[in-house]
Structure 1
Amino acid sequence: MELRSIISYTLFLAFMSVLLHENLVGAASYTVGDAEGWTYGLDYQRWAQKYNFTVGDALLFSYVRGQHDVYEVVEDTFRSCDVSSGVVSTYASGSDVVNLTRATKHWFLCNVKGHCRGGMRFGITVARASPSPSGGDDGESPFPTSPPPPLLPSNAGASVARARWWLVVMGLWYVINYLGVD
């Protein structure tokens, strides 16, 4: 193999390692509802109980746009299914990514008529990713009294996922077109 190919191959591997690093260091992505996705008729609370969520993880809500939506809400809104108040964030793209950035409780529901009361809702507790460096209790409750403000626009997670996908495709295209030809 000539030197140009070796250098190109090494740079490509370094690029892919950086690109995929987030997935290799412990952060997990969960598709809500697993293979069925975010749809009517599943027991989402049972689904959520299968997993241990930690800061840095992400939830992917996959559904038919226009048939469902996703509201992140406070507990009272979750229990009442009344979104006239207590809405933290709304999503409606059909492929929504919610990054779990804080150790707190999160509640999600579908606001399409009848869906929330029909069971299309769940709550999760997100734990700290690792213990505090002191190893002791710092006295702070892991559950803040008010929900945190969203850090990114509601479609930012989906945009990042699409960008990563295109980078992988472009990297593979590069390998096929430039490294495969001598």
Structure 2
Amino acid sequence: MEALKAYRSWSFLSLFIVILFWVSSVHVEYAGARNISVGGSEGWRYGYNYSDWISKAGKIYVNDVLVFKYSIPTSSSLPHNVLLLKDKSSYKKCNVSGGIKLADPTQGIGEGFAFKLKKVTNYYFACGVGNGKHCDVGLMKFGIKPVVKKGC
């Protein structure tokens, strides 16, 4: 009987240690994630060079969150959206036809639209308004490839 009590006690302790380790490792994985405001104080707008902005933004890591903030469209302002383009060729040519719409013209208001970078891959973002005009003429595009943060 004493052996059974000792076994149960040991099993509980082992389970507790495993759960504690798992919770702490999950916390560490997400503890370093950052919210990055696309364009900084400029936000997501026509005429700002996002390729230049991202080249100066520093390292972007897996689990970081890009936040696209833009104004609600009015009769005197341009609407915007956020597309994830399918490949580098589409990005270079601002071919938005095969892009996946991530956010519509109203999702960037207030706190903005958030997109989490979940894996190491190339991401190509653009505004698809005007059949690619905002991407091409308005410079509303950028590509990134997040990296894994060392030490996590």
Q: Same fold (TM over 0.5)?
A: yes
* CA displacement 1:7-52 (0-9 Å, x = unmatched): xxxxxxxxxxxxxx78x82111110010110001111011101221
Mapped contact 1:70–1:108 kept (Cα < 8 A): yes
Q: Tell me which residue corresponds to 1:117.
A: 136
The whole-number CA distance in structure 2 between the counterparts of 1:73 and 1:84 is 9
1:68-79 matches, cutoff 5 A: 68-74=80-86, 75-79=88-92
Amino acid at match of 1:73: L
With CA pairs under 8 Å and 6+ residues apart, which has the higher RCO, 1 or 2? Answer: 2
Mapped contact 1:54–1:128 kept (Cα < 8 A): yes
CA RMSD of aligned residues (A): 2.2
Q: Tell me which residue corresponds to 1:45.
A: 51
The whole-number CA distance in structure 1 between the counterparts of 2:70 and 2:128 is 13
Mapped contact 1:56–1:129 kept (Cα < 8 A): no
The whole-number CA distance in structure 2 between the counterparts of 1:100 and 1:32 is 13
Which structure has the larger Rg over C-alpha atoms? 2
Paired residues, what number?
Answer: 110
After TM superposition, what 4+ stretches of structure 1 lie above 6 angstroms from structure 2?
Answer: none
Task: Give structure 1 stretches of 5+ with no counterpart.
Answer: 1-20, 133-182
1:1-182 matches, cutoff 5 A: 25-50=31-56, 51-66=58-73, 67-74=79-86, 75-85=88-98, 87-92=99-104, 93-94=107-108, 95-113=112-130, 114-118=133-137, 119-130=139-150
Amino acid at match of 1:124: I
* CA displacement 1:102-132 (0-9 Å, x = unmatched): 0111110001112111211011111113379
The whole-number CA distance in structure 1 between the counterparts of 2:72 and 2:90 is 23
Percent of pairs with identical residues:
32
Mapped contact 2:51–2:143 kept (Cα < 8 A): yes
Task: Give structure 2 stretches of 5+ with no counterpart.
Answer: 1-26, 74-78
Q: Could you tell me the TM-score, scaled by structure 1's length?
A: 0.55
